[in-house]
Amino acid sequence: MNDMNTREDIEVDLFLEGIFRHYHYDFRNYSRTFIKRRLNLIKTLLQCESFSILQHKVLHDPLMMTKILNYLTIQVGDMFRDPGYFLSMRHIISSYLSTYSSIKVWIAGCGTGEELYSLAILFREEGLENRTQFFATDINYEALKRAEAGVYAMDRLEAFENNYKLTDPTGSFSKYYTVKNNHAVLDRTLKENTVFYNHSLVSDSVFGEMHLISCRNVLIYFDSSLQERAIGLFSDALIRKGFLGLGAKESLYLSPHASNFTEFQRKDRIYQKMAMHELPPPRVRGIVKVGANER
């Protein structure tokens, strides 16, 4: 590694440590390739000669931290992105989740809310909206505000509607929004059963028992240790036989928590947590425990 790379890596480490200590946002275990790419973009846009200068600006200007956070957290995605995923979710909602008298759904890393509203529409169309509680979480307060507002540019509506048509819908997408000031304002009743909550997969803990967790295109920005932590949170939060949905480029492959799940729909990266009696037997000092006896 040359001297320039060494200095740059040191500056990146110090930058991430600085915003963690000062603002309590922890990006230290995010993918280093992703972080360096984003920080180099920020450095260029803000006309900073080095990460050290960027760090000085951020530590002395909270508004600068807000700008940095918007670059370091991925917020924008289409409604019903990857329609096959939502088609599978519709099947899960109607055939499995419908058997519960009350349902809790966690959208982790909800960004600006597109996935939340996509799922809310599915639950409404399957007649389960009134018995479902949604939890939409993100580390970015600005993103959460935009998610709660539920307002999107009109030029995005065509992609939203085209995706929706591929999810075996029961109605027309146009009934879920009104147009105001060249923006689409989603039906306010879609978020009546939603709690918008600031939560970090890096540092926060489980806050309830969930029937469904959808966390798509978030884990790809974590390193392996942080991925393990997040998947462990999801495993702890899910009820037995609960469902976990990941992004198209994410999986439980090689995760130490993979044995807690079965692949429900491999193509769409949907997993189901095993029931207790299905879990592999614990190993004690290398010995498989069978009932009350050890062999």
Average pLDDT across each block of 10 residues of the chain; the chain has 295 residues. List them in order. Answer: 72 94 91 91 91 93 89 82 97 98 97 97 98 97 95 96 97 96 97 96 94 95 93 97 96 92 96 78 39 34
Among 234, 227, 191, 230, CA closest to 212:
234
Q: Which strand ranges, in their side-by-side order, compose the sheet holding 183-186? A: 151-153, 183-186, 177-180
- CA torsion, points 229, 89, 167, 199, in degrees to nearest 10? -40
110-138, pLDDT tens digit by residue?
999 999 999 999 999 999 999 999 999 99
Contacts of 256 (CB under 8 A, 6+ apart): 228
Say what the pLDDT of residue 6 is.
83
- For residue 165, the model assigns a pLDDT of 98
What is the pLDDT, as a whole number, of residue 253?
87
pLDDT, position 289: 34
Cα 138 from Cα 6, distance rounded (Å): 33
